[in-house]
Structure 1
């Protein structure tokens, strides 16, 4: 795509679009000195700029003057992409009515639906889905709209996507599932919903860490609670560690207690032959060491342990 040098009129038109100055916009276009889709070095057209800035009247004026709703930036993003990202529902509707392609994606695979889910714009998500946006589209790294909604804890968007056929266990290239990322981020309500619709509790990322491992490592007690209802693996995971090792290493006493009361083996050795207590000792997590020692003493003395 050859870029002609920008003229003063091009610059003025772009400025008017960014600032939402519809009078100036009209004047520059009427001068006949500039093309309605004049591009800057990034391939930005006035329509893309006006949509990204949320200026409805400028968007309408540009479309009326023949601006191309399909025009893409150098990176592949369209006016609809930016309107969706900004949460400008009225502009999204106008662009779709004027023939903007609903699923036009950027070079990294991002669709308008994907960015609307990422930014939490429920009304835009609703509109795009109603207009036929593909719910299971994905980025180059295979992250889906459901994945990004889960990562950001957008619960209502998650429900909408699931209701429209979003696949719960779609995996990113690194193996991470929506459940995995929600657990890592501590979004317990998202975790609960994904488990309810059948997400695999022990799905793991390429490094062998499961959702329970990540939640135990990060100290997300409420997520651990949700996961434990679905019998996750408490033993050695493909990464050679257990969830209990993760909780011990990072000093999360409530999670250590909860995992043990759920049946985690406190004498379990990881791939290096080390127990959770030794892990805690090395990491100077003395509260964990103290708790585990008291359990061991009780076991030796044969007094029944009541989880406190």
Structure 2
């Protein structure tokens, strides 16, 4: 069969048919890869002269001749391939045979063949070769296959090295133990008893490997042959510890019968009993305690087995430990007790049992929090709710745990902690827990201690503030109805509600006595801060004015009709130019300065219009007049401010003064005629008397 011709890329030559491709059927993976590499290099070499030929023919307005690949002088052949069936290979003219300066990379073919690629410094591929397979000791192969006869023969041969380790430090005895080849293991031990306690590079003995793989027969064989059951690995774990981890009672019994130490500590300080408790294997716990395991040993973090049981929610194991003398009030390094940890993890049955055993519910952790504090904040955040059932159950457990702790927690100790469970329940939106605590008589006006308050940038202090910050209307309602004072915090919850734009919360706070004329001590202004926060919410601003907010102070200006300081041009963090008033330092900020800020000045007219409904004769300062003159539709507002004000407006102000601020908040409940109420709300224009 004639060798098929192969056309270069872009030519119209004859393509290879099915019979031609059959020529590659007998090639191996590496030969196919080598062929592909050589072919790509040949294409790259032939492309250059072809391009020059095409370029020359275009210049002479002649059609370019077909580019024909040269026929290789010595094509590679396989013994099982006929000489006439020659593969059309174009080897490169130059292959660097010196591979010493080449970079090496490894890859795996689709058939699992591991290969090595050699490249020059510029990244050019030189050649690929299959990786040399690591030579495996015949002893190991016999062990893998469980070939006892071959192994016995090899062991008896002179010159057989029983101590030849692989790159992991494994000897043949380790291989036999790991793969559970007990018969092979006996042969190896008989041939060389000294290898029984040899270790790998990770300090693993054959016994450790056999235990970790649950090979009971191998464990028995090794112990009978003198294997030491207390040799540890790099993590300081003994075979006994590993048996507890694997929960293999049979192997554990064998190790104990051969004197394994039950109180050895691993690198983290855990004992075998710690591990058994964590696995909640009561049978193994009983075996260890009967063998002398100490129930009060602690790890490097101060955790005892009892603490682990409480943390994991293993009630039966916890009962067993208490029955065998475990200290129920032992503390971890951070001061946490088992009761504290059970509350943290929401284990209702554990909490109930510990309380029944007189666990101390008034012992705080290093943070100063009591178990009831931890239980109050336990649960899942409703805002990130993924599983409603789990979320509901978590809340139900928290409520039950808090109810149990209320009976045994001293309120004096709670006050000493500087924070109330109410604060934490409100902070974490635990409404059901909050309700239980209120019913139990916890003070809704309890304030955070100075140390706790400093942890928050806004220096909050009341549980009500937490509820308002979270925009939790239900919690806010419960606290206010229980008598919470809305004026305890440095920054009023009313300002927070106004900033959030929640008119419902604002209404509740005002109705329960929130100060509508609140000033921020750290940021002095000549007018109430409530007005500054409500400028972008005109209905809310009107509501505040209806309830006694001081509008007159907004028209008090130290500059009056005189020119105001020029607006300073500044650049914010986004690089946007903006105008802001040049405010003198150590002075109170005036209303006209705040309303001149870029984010508010476009609403200056409507804001001034609302405020004018609640003042008598006032004189607008030059800055306010400047704002009203900036927009033609605001001319009527300027005229509205021109004295004298109407008699109806003056009468309304007089009624406001007679009622007083406190009564204005309760105006809807006062025995005042409906017409008067409409008049006070500025509804006289739309309602008939």
| TM-score normalised according to structure 2 size | 0.41
Q: Report the Cα offset of residue 301 of structure 1.
A: 1.4
The partner residue of 2:428 within 212, 218, 224 is 218
Aligned residue for 1:203, secondary structure, equals: helix
Q: State the Cα deviation string for residues 237-267 of structure 1 (Å, max 9, x = none).
A: 213510000010011111000011111012x
Q: Which residue is 2:440 aligned to?
A: 230
Q: Which residue is 2:408 aligned to?
A: 197
The partner residue of 2:666 within 278, 294, 300 is 300
Check if 1:246 corresponds to 2:466. Answer: yes
Cα separation, 1, equivalents of 2:242 and 2:501: 54
* C-alpha contact (below 8 Å) 1:202/1:211 kept by paired residues: no
Q: Which residue is 1:92 aligned to?
A: 285
Q: Which residue is 1:103 aligned to?
A: 296
Structure having greater relative contact order (Cα 8 Å, sep ≥ 6) = 1
Cα separation, 2, equivalents of 1:167 and 1:178: 9
Q: Which residue is 1:142 aligned to?
A: 335
Greater fraction helix: 1
Q: Report the Cα offset of residue 29 of structure 1.
A: 2.5
* C-alpha contact (below 8 Å) 2:511/2:666 kept by paired residues: no
Q: Which residue is 2:251 aligned to?
A: 58
* C-alpha contact (below 8 Å) 1:216/1:244 kept by paired residues: yes
* C-alpha contact (below 8 Å) 2:241/2:275 kept by paired residues: yes
Q: Report the Cα offset of residue 11 of structure 1.
A: 4.0
Q: State the Cα deviation string for residues 36-89 of structure 1 (Å, max 9, x = none).
A: 111011210011111123221121111111111111113321000111111111
The partner residue of 1:77 within 261, 267, 270 is 270
Q: Which residue is 1:49 aligned to?
A: 242
Tell me which moved more, 279-288 or 151-160.
Answer: 279-288
Tell me which moved more, 116-125 or 23-32.
Answer: 23-32
Q: Which residue is 1:20 aligned to?
A: 214
Q: Which residue is 1:10 aligned to?
A: 204
Cα separation, 2, equivalents of 1:201 and 1:153: 25
Cα separation, 1, equivalents of 2:433 and 2:420: 12
Q: Could you say which structure has the larger radius of gyration?
A: 2
The partner residue of 1:166 within 359, 376, 381 is 359
Q: State the Cα deviation string for residues 132-173 of structure 1 (Å, max 9, x = none).
A: 100000101110001001111111111211122210111001
Cα separation, 2, equivalents of 1:193 and 1:181: 13
Cα separation, 1, equivalents of 2:263 and 2:220: 21
Check if 1:275 corresponds to 2:492. Answer: yes
Check if 1:262 corresponds to 2:482. Answer: yes
Q: State the Cα deviation string for residues 163-217 of structure 1 (Å, max 9, x = none).
A: 22210111001101100001011411111000012343872697x4321101001
Q: State the Cα deviation string for residues 16-50 of structure 1 (Å, max 9, x = none).
A: 32333222222333343x31111011210011111
| Counterpart mapping for 1:126-141 below 5 A | 126-141=319-334
Q: Which residue is 2:48 aligned to?
A: none
Cα separation, 2, equivalents of 1:195 and 1:77: 34
Cα separation, 2, equivalents of 1:289 and 1:302: 16
Q: Which residue is 2:12 aligned to?
A: none
The partner residue of 1:288 within 505, 521, 524 is 505
* C-alpha contact (below 8 Å) 1:146/1:166 kept by paired residues: yes
Q: Report the Cα offset of residue 126 of structure 1.
A: 0.5
* C-alpha contact (below 8 Å) 1:281/1:289 kept by paired residues: yes
Cα separation, 1, equivalents of 2:368 and 2:251: 43
* C-alpha contact (below 8 Å) 1:248/1:279 kept by paired residues: yes
Aligned residue for 2:230, secondary structure, equals: coil
Cα separation, 1, equivalents of 2:483 and 2:475: 12
Cα separation, 2, equivalents of 1:285 and 1:13: 69
Cα separation, 2, equivalents of 1:7 and 1:30: 21
* C-alpha contact (below 8 Å) 2:205/2:231 kept by paired residues: no
Q: 1:185 to 1:37 in 2, by over 3 A?
A: same
| TM-score normalised according to structure 1 size | 0.88
Q: Report the Cα offset of residue 234 of structure 1.
A: 2.0
Cα separation, 2, equivalents of 1:16 and 1:40: 13
Cα separation, 2, equivalents of 1:24 and 1:302: 88
Structure 2 segments unaligned to the other structure (5+ residues): 1-196, 380-397, 454-459, 514-546, 548-663, 671-689
Aligned residue for 2:204, secondary structure, equals: helix
* C-alpha contact (below 8 Å) 1:176/1:204 kept by paired residues: no
Structure 1 segments unaligned to the other structure (5+ residues): none
Cα separation, 1, equivalents of 2:341 and 2:416: 16
Q: 1:292 to 1:78 in 2, by over 3 A?
A: same
